[in-house]
Chains A and B, each alone.
Chain A
Amino acid sequence: MLIMRNINDEQFEQDLNVVSNLKEVSAPDFFYTRLKAKMEKEAKLEQFEGPLKPIAVICILTLFLFINSLIMEKETTVVHSSSNQDIEAFAASYDQIITN
């Protein structure tokens, strides 16, 4: 069970000394070899992905524009049909016939 405890400054400083001025830890063995391997892997990936990036951006933009235009077209059709229905209802309420 965790119980709240008042810590005085002296005790607190003593506790902090446990993690103070720690001896330097060495990097893992073969650090440079692994680093070089990572750099080579990233360079290869960049070589492959580099020319594909603009193509991917263009594809995403085109798709976005296409979906946007579809949505806009659909909204215009809905507005048109609903406005026609309104006029017909208005005319019917006054017993009028609408001819195009």
Chain B
Amino acid sequence: MNEQELIARLKLGDEPAFKLLVQQYQDRVYHSALAILHNADDAEEAAQETFIQVFESIKSFKEESSLGTWIYRIGVRKALEKIRKQKTRKRLHSLVSWWMPSEEKSVDAAYLNPGINIENKEKATILFKAISELPNNQRVAFTLIRVQGMKHEEASEIMQLSIKAIESLLSRAKENLKNKLKYYYNS
């Protein structure tokens, strides 16, 4: 089934087509969410919410971009929503700690990723922690391009920014990371 057929069937609410779509994109969406969120549970939740959103709004998909780019865009938005919610929760917890249980999330992306060698796991954990402290748009740009290996053009489509803006975000992200890593590493 080609993409056009898949979209047409999805717009009709066809369940097998939705299953096929999930099977086609679940790994990439999950990987993307994990790269941004650095936590397996959060990444799975964000990936699930992405597909729910895709199912609910496929009728409004205007096919101005490819289906994959559109799904990725929703995925990134869902991951960022999760980060925002976590920040709000943290702020609320600092105000009413007696009412809200604390929810410390570990940076486990380095340990889940089979692409990282055992000897580099510790360094990767430090790097992921530094990446998670970057401003959201720098974090996403850096993750899509450097961690996931996407092209600047793809990242620009997903983030709906110009290639120049992406390059600028990437350069600022690297500068910020460099400054952060000065403090993280032991001499």
B183 touches A38 (CB 8 A): no
> 9 tightest A-B contacts by CB?
A23-B115, A21-B149, A27-B30, A22-B115, A27-B26, A3-B187, A18-B120, A24-B31, A25-B31
Asked if A4 lies at the interface with its beta carbon under 8 angstroms from chain B, I say: yes
Q: Select the stretch in A5-13, A58-66, A74-82, A89-97 that faces chain B.
A: A5-13
A88 to B22 CA separation, bound complex (whole angstroms)? 81
- B residues engaging A (CB < 8 A)? 19, 22-23, 26-31, 34-35, 40, 44, 47-48, 51-52, 55, 110, 112-116, 120, 123-124, 127-128, 131, 146-149, 174, 177-178, 181-187
A18 touches B124 (CB 8 A): yes
Asked if A53 lies at the interface with its beta carbon under 8 angstroms from chain B, I say: no
A19 touches B178 (CB 8 A): no
A 14-56 contacts with B by CB, 8 A: 15-16, 18-28, 31-32, 34-35, 38-39, 42
Closest to B177 in A: A16
Given contacts A19-B128, A35-B22, contact A7 B182 (CB under 8 A): yes
Chain A neighbourhood of B26, CB < 8 A: 27, 31-32
Asked if A2 lies at the interface with its beta carbon under 8 angstroms from chain B, I say: yes
Given contacts A7-B182, A25-B112, A31-B30, contact A20 B149 (CB under 8 A): yes
- A residues engaging B (CB < 8 A)? 1-7, 12, 15-16, 18-28, 31-32, 34-35, 38-39, 42
A77 shortest CB reach to chain B, Å: 36
A3 to B47 CA separation, bound complex (whole angstroms)? 38
Chain A neighbourhood of B124, CB < 8 A: 18-19
A22 touches B113 (CB 8 A): yes
Extra pairs beyond A18-B124, A27-B30, A32-B26 (12, CB < 8 Å): A2-B186, A18-B123, A19-B124, A19-B146, A21-B147, A23-B113, A24-B31, A25-B113, A26-B31, A27-B26, A31-B44, A32-B19
Closest to B178 in A: A12
A15 touches B181 (CB 8 A): yes
B27 touches A39 (CB 8 A): no
A20 touches B48 (CB 8 A): no
A39 touches B116 (CB 8 A): no
A35 to B127 CA separation, bound complex (whole angstroms)? 31
